[in-house]
Amino acid sequence: MIIRICQKIFCMPFSLLPNYDITPFTTFGVPTYAEYAFPIASETDLHTLVSHAHDMPPEWFILGGGSNILFSRPIRGLTLLVDIRGIEHLHEDTREVVLRVGAGESWDPFVSYCVTNGYGGVENLSLIYGSVGATPIQNIGAYGTEVSEVIEYVETVDLQTGEDVTFSREDCRFGYRTSIFKSPAYRRYFITHVVYRLSKNPQVNTSYRSLQTALATKDISSPTIADVRRTVIELRQSKLPDPAQVGNAGSFFQNVHVSQAFFAELQKTFPDIPSFSITRDIIKVPAAWLIEYCGWKGYREGDAGVWPYQPLVMVNYGKAGGQDILDLSERVRTSVWNTFGLWLEREVTVY
């Protein structure tokens, strides 16, 4: 059930930032400007903005950590920069803790905070770049864990009405790398806080094969959440480039889910194709393997490229434009389609 709490609209003077360089706010590092920008540090800022909506540009865009987006053109209208901070303890007992976290907090430092304090549930999601507010939108996942498993509810402000709206976990309609917030009708909701329920007596999740192998290599048979975090960081660093050094947004494409019958047909032509069972009839096919099989791993054209250690990652080696990266990514997925009859869905949002 969606809970609506009507709020008084506060009227305050403010000014927009014209022709604002948002390149530093994105991990791809492609030069991008917003027609107008406005930092949001509190719900009051949003209420003020909505109360002056008649004076605002008609198009609004919300930008958090910029870690899951590729800009191929300047941003029209008004860009809202998410800068709501803070970690608040709503509840704590011997078994669990409930944390209310500002949408503008960086995700990995929050994971570090949780692991340092013995709060389990997010350690497998270590070293994912971006902001807390983006985690429910994408339903981020890694190494056998999805963030939806620990989200209690999401607090938002409706940019059309100015109302505060809280979405329960069920309201969020989480799926594989998706949620209700990715649908056009719900992009009007500005996420202000995310509330997580974490365990103080955590059962670590080591179901993911590469994580199991890495822990076994270290002779860690009973891992702690700190062991899992360290190992996940090492695994990610071995495959993924640091955005501070090579522009990227992590995995550019989603893994592919197919029926058991379709996969059986694929195996006839490609007997070495890897797979993972999701349900009795649904098979996950690693997109990285498909891309590498088609010969794209390590490919570079100018400063746009496919990362040589993880072909799921499109990269900017320095001066690539967003359109350069987008064009190359389209050639990659067209190649996969022509070879396997599988269409790669983007994990990254393209503007």
Catalytic-labelled residue, pool 100, 177, 230, 346 = 177
Q: 318-344: string of b/e by CB count within 10 Å (b at 16+)?
A: eebbbebbbebbeebbebbeeebebeb
3-class DSSP string for the chain: CCEEECCCCCCCCCCCEEEEECHHHCCCCCCCEEEEEEEECCHHHHHHHHHCHHHCCCCEEEECCCCCEECCCCEEEEEEEECCCCEEEEEECCCEEEEEEECCCEHHHHHHHHHHCCCECCHHHCCCCCEHHHHHHHCCEECCEEHHHCEEEEEEEECCCCCEEEEECCCCCCECCECHHHCHHHCCEEEEEEEEEEECCCCCCCCCHHHHHHHHHCCCCCCCHHHHHHHHHHHHHHHCCCCCCCEEEEECECCEEEEHHHHHHHHHHCCCCCCEECCCCEEEECHHHHHHHCCCCCCEECCEEECCCCCCEEEECCCCCHHHHHHHHHHHHHHHHHHHCCCCCECCEEC
Catalytic-labelled residue, pool 43, 105, 146, 347 = 347
Q: Is 229 a catalytic residue?
A: no
Q: Is 199 a catalytic residue?
A: no
Q: How far apart are CA 33 and CA 321, in angstroms?
A: 13
Catalytic-labelled residue, pool 67, 179, 251, 329 = 251
Q: Is 251 a catalytic residue?
A: yes
Query: Could you tell me which of 106, 85, 84, 83 has the C-alpha nearest to residue 37?
Result: 83
Residues catalogued as catalytic = 177, 251, 347
